[in-house]
Chain A
Amino acid sequence: MSSAVASPLDKAVGFYQAPIGKKAVMAVTGVILFGYVVAHLLGNLQIYSADRQQINQYAAFLHDPSHAGFLWGARTFLLAAVLLHMVAATQLWIQNRSARPVRYVKKDDVPTAYAARTMIWSGPIIAAFVVFHVLHLTAGTVLPLQELGPNRPDVRANVIAGFQHPAVAGFYVLAMLLLCLHLYHGVWSMFQSVGVSHPRYTIWLKRFAALSALLIALGNISIPVAVLAGLLTN
């Protein structure tokens, strides 16, 4: 026992130094991102509403200048979560690679762990997609955006116009398949990372992870597919 009292900062640094501390940070930021993805999907699905203005009204509500503080707060919070998640993932990846300097001549893998072993690839591709997505539908750098008025984007028209380009639609579909893979492992993994596991309910945590990953991907993929199939039109 040392008599020196560790300051809260020392403790936080010590906590983060341990891989389990980094994994806890990844789990907490992972939950935040998971929650965001679910909320975003619910927003997107409004495009199927019989009321064609439904999704535009939702967008106008989010962009309402009286909520600007809230919107920017949420954006900053999510950006911070993504950055922490990526920094911890990268640090662990570097550490883990250096733990086996000499590779095996022959190495077999447990087949079901494919999603787990590719987290470090699915993650950054999803991040690149998020940048493209913001440039496409928020900033209007990829294609010109329509507006119904100031702070009132015509989301419905912009989404449909974008997905009429097969390359754009294809990239969205690919990114969502990778998100499905990432969450299939990640959502279960975050429970394991914070120590939630028991012979009786671990199987349900895995089922929940698989089901939510699948529903999120299918829900989002349905939109470009519906546009290309001519089911969603202006």
Chain B
Amino acid sequence: MIIGNLVNGVVIDHIPAGRAMELYRLLKLDSLQCEIALIKNAASEKHGRKDILKIGQLDGIDFSILGYIDSEITINYIENGVRVRKFHPQLPDTIYDLIKCKNPRCITTTEQELPHVFRLTDPGTRTYRCVYCQTPAGR
């Protein structure tokens, strides 16, 4: 893969500047064998600075968490060097084991084996709440 000349893969664009590493971790990209480029603080007409992730494969990545990070992010599918699809990520209904409940009285603080699950309760305000204690996820 040559940066700027991705043939087959996904370009995640308009990532808020400085957050590409976080996304790299959330999308579990370290488990992929393909080429991956992380571009930090690229110039952006819209945002001043942005981050970009270029991933040299099309399948096997769950992008749903991106909607939770920032709805301005764009996901671009590239096939044979041509962009075939561009879309903004949707807000995921449920977030598993990505964020932890900040409520010190929550059952998840004492029962370590419980999955951390948050559910979208208000798409308008992008509010997610812990399924156990209903505490809103801290942004």
Q: Do A and B come from one complex?
A: no
Footprint of B on A, CB under 8 Å?
none
Footprint of A on B, CB under 8 Å?
none
